[in-house]
């Protein structure tokens, strides 16, 4: 499989080309914490990274290297592991920002995580993932003036709606778990 990631030289060229833009952050993933640290030190913009890492041990070399300003994509690690990652990130003065394009249950899990960590930068949510998303859960996230309202319901504040899930089954062998397999 051909690697599609840019290399250090390419990232630096991109960063120089966009230096005059007011960027919230640039998202760069690298399998090399030292290279990413070098890129970050050259970047005029905050760097976010680590969305492909799993578990605290994979994050630690990046934290030690001060390779990013914001560690992202904690949902893939689950809330328990994400809390460990956020704690280690805070000890290294790195913020966290959970990604989310998974739906309302992930939004609510991220909201609880975000409320519990002192080093939150921002929480992402996907408001237009599927036309029937609102049917798939018992409660949808409430957003007022750009802020998610924390529910007072038990658990995460929403549950999957089994009937709605059955009404919208997956279409064949699609998704990341079946990447590269024939349909």
How far apart are the C-alpha atoms of 81 and 115, rounded to whole Å? 16
State residue 2's pLDDT score.
43
98 band by pLDDT with thresholds 50, 70 and 90: very high
Both tokens of residue 77? Answer: 């690690």
Please provide the DSSP assignment of 169-180 as one string. ---SS-SGGGTT
Biggest CA-to-CA distance, the chain:
52
User: Rounded to whole angstroms, what are the CA distances from 183 to 107, 170, 174, 178, 180?
Assistant: 30, 12, 8, 8, 9
- Report the length, in residues, of the chain: 183
Contact yes or no for 90/117 (Cβ under 8 A): yes
Q: Is the pLDDT of residue 4 over 60?
A: no
53 band by pLDDT with thresholds 50, 70 and 90: very high
State residue 137's pLDDT score.
93
Q: Is the pLDDT of residue 75 over 90?
A: no
State residue 129's pLDDT score.
78
State residue 1's pLDDT score.
37
State residue 101's pLDDT score.
77
State residue 179's pLDDT score.
58
Distance, CA of 64 to chain centre: 20
Note the pTM of the prediction, 2 decimals.
0.84
Both tokens of residue 7? Answer: 């290399």
User: Rounded to whole angstroms, what are the CA distances from 168 to 107, 133, 137, 172?
Assistant: 20, 10, 12, 12
State residue 131's pLDDT score.
85
- What is the average pLDDT across 116-125? 94
Q: Is the pLDDT of residue 109 over 80?
A: yes
Q: Which residues of 122-142 are buried (b: 16+ CB within 10 A; e: fewer)?
A: ebebeeebeeebeebbeebbe
Residues 6 or more apart whose CB falls under 8 angstroms from that of 132 comprise 164, 168
* Structure-model confidence comparison of residues 130 and 56, the more confident one: 56
- What 8-state DSSP symbol labels residue 18? T
**CATH number of this structure's domain 8-178, picked from the four choices 3.20.20.120, 3.60.20.40, 3.10.450.50, 3.30.450.20:** 3.20.20.120
| 146-181 pLDDT, tens digit each | 899 999 999 999 999 999 999 988 877 766 666 556
């Amino acid at each position: 499989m051909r690697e599609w990631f840019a290399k250090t030289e390419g990232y630096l060229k991109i960063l120089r080309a966009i230096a005059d833009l007011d960027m919230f952050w640039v998202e760069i993933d690298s399998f090399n914490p030292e290279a990413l640290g070098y890129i970050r030190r050259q970047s005029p913009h905050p760097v976010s990274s680590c969305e492909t890492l799993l578990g605290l041990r994979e994050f630690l070399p990046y934290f030690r290297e001060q390779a990013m300003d914001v560690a992202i994509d904690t949902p893939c690690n689950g809330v328990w592991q994400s809390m460990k990652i956020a704690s280690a990130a805070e000890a290294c003065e790195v913020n966290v920002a959970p990604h989310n394009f998974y739906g309302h249950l992930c939004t609510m899990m991220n909201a609880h995580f975000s409320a519990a960590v002192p080093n939150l930068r921002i929480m992402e949510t996907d408001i237009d993932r599927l036309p029937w998303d609102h049917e798939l859960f018992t409660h949808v996230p409430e957003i007022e003036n750009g802020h998610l309202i924390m529910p007072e319901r038990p658990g995460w504040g929403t549950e999957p709606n089994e009937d709605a899930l059955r009404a919208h089954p997956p279409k064949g062998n699609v998704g990341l778990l079946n990447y590269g397999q024939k349909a």
